[in-house]
């Protein structure tokens, strides 16, 4: 697996779960910041390697082999994010770029030991699940903050969007994983909410609320 191949597999993996269908050439090209023609080239190569099924003009679908390889890249990425936050005290909005590089380090033993060193974490610093060695992802029962109604309480367990901008907004509002959020009121017109997060009370827009995952026990 070359670096480029790993990046393609990972992206297809994410898009497949998001779109719940085959992944189109253009969708991939946009996500990978590259050209459709480059994508086609790589799809043909990955099809040769039995990582995915490629049907001309019809998009691609990962094989079991491809899914496993992709999930392992995701596993490495998320374990390194945990390392960066838990051990090197990086902030959750700073780790993605670095993990993007570290996910390509190739050593089974390294990842095994890293996992143990971190205490076999199940979720990364953004609340995303870490696939196990075999590629299985346990999905937590979590809901979007925007789905809660007045007076419901949730614990923040992750983010849907994890851009630095959004994460920095959450920081400013002192919301992080584990923060208790109480819905004090909800505006039906625009979906905005008045919430209590930790000790503070303030409004959040629908856009904010529908990118935050909470657990309502």
Partner DNA sequence: ACTAATGTTTAGCTTTGCCTAAAATTATAA
Partner DNA sequence: TTATAATTTTAGGCAAAGCTAAACATTAGT
Q: Which residues bind its own copies (CB under 8 A)?
A: 84, 87-90, 94, 97-98, 101-102, 105-107, 109-110, 113-114, 117
Tell me the C-alpha distance between 174 and 153, whole Å: 17
Structure tokens at 120: 């076999």
122 binds DNA (CB under 7 A): no
**For DNA, how many residues bind (rule: CB under 7 A)?**
26
Binding mask 75-94 for DNA (x = CB under 7 A): --------------------
User: Is the distance from CB of 125 to CB of 177 less than 8 angstroms?
Assistant: yes
Cβ atoms within 10 A of the Cβ of 176, count?
17
Task: Select from 68, 75, 76, 126 the one that contacts Mn ion (CB under 5 A).
Answer: 126
Residue 105 CB, nearest distance to DNA (Å)? 16
34 binds DNA (CB under 7 A): yes
Judged by CB under 7 A, which stretch of 56-64, 69-77, 138-146, 171-179 contacts DNA?
Answer: 56-64
* 166 contact choice in Mn ion, DNA, its own copies, none (CB below 5 to 8 Å, kind-dependent): none
124 binds Mn ion (CB under 5 A): yes
Task: Select from 13, 59, 78, 95 the one that contacts DNA (CB under 7 A).
Answer: 59
Structure tokens at 147: 């789905």
* Residue ranges in 77-116 that form contacts with Mn ion under rule CB under 5 A: 81, 96
SS3 144: strand
Four-point Cα dihedral 209, 124, 135, 48, nearest 10: 80
Task: Select from 18, 19, 21, 26 the one that contacts DNA (CB under 7 A).
Answer: 26
User: Is the distance from CB of 185 to CB of 152 less than 8 angstroms?
Assistant: no
Four-point Cα dihedral 13, 17, 21, 27, nearest 10: -60
SS3 190: coil
Task: Select from 56, 139, 172, 199 the one that contacts DNA (CB under 7 A).
Answer: 56
Beta strands in 56-207 (DSSP E): 59-62, 143-144, 153-159, 180-186, 193-197, 200-204
In the complex, the residues that contact Mn ion under the rule CB under 5 A are 81, 96, 124, 126, 128
In the complex, the residues that contact DNA under the rule CB under 7 A are 2-5, 24-27, 33-45, 54, 56-59
């Amino acid at each position: 697996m070359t670096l480029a191949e790993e990046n393609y597999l990972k992206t297809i993996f994410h898009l497949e779960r998001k779109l719940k269908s085959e992944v189109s050439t253009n969708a991939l090209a946009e996500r990978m910041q590259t050209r459709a023609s480059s994508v086609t080239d790589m799809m043909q190569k990955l099809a040769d390697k039995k990582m995915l099924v490629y049907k001309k003009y019809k998009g691609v679908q990962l094989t079991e082999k491809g899914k496993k390889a992709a999930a392992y890249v995701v596993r490495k990425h998320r374990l390194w994010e945990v390392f960066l936050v838990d051990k090197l005290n990086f902030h959750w909005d700073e780790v993605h770029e670095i993990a993007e590089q570290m996910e390509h380090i190739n050593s089974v033993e390294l990842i095994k030991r890293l996992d143990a060193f971190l205490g076999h974490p199940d979720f990364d610093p953004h609340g995303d699940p870490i696939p196990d060695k075999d590629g299985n992802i346990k999905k937590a029962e979590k809901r979007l903050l925007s789905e809660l109604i007045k007076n419901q309480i949730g614990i923040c367990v992750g983010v849907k969007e994890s851009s630095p901008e959004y994460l920095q907004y959450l920081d400013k509002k002192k919301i992080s994983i584990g923060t208790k959020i109480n819905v004090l009121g909800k505006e039906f017109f625009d979906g905005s909410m008045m919430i209590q997060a930790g000790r503070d009370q303030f409004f959040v827009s629908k856009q904010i609320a529908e990118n935050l995952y909470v657990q309502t026990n």
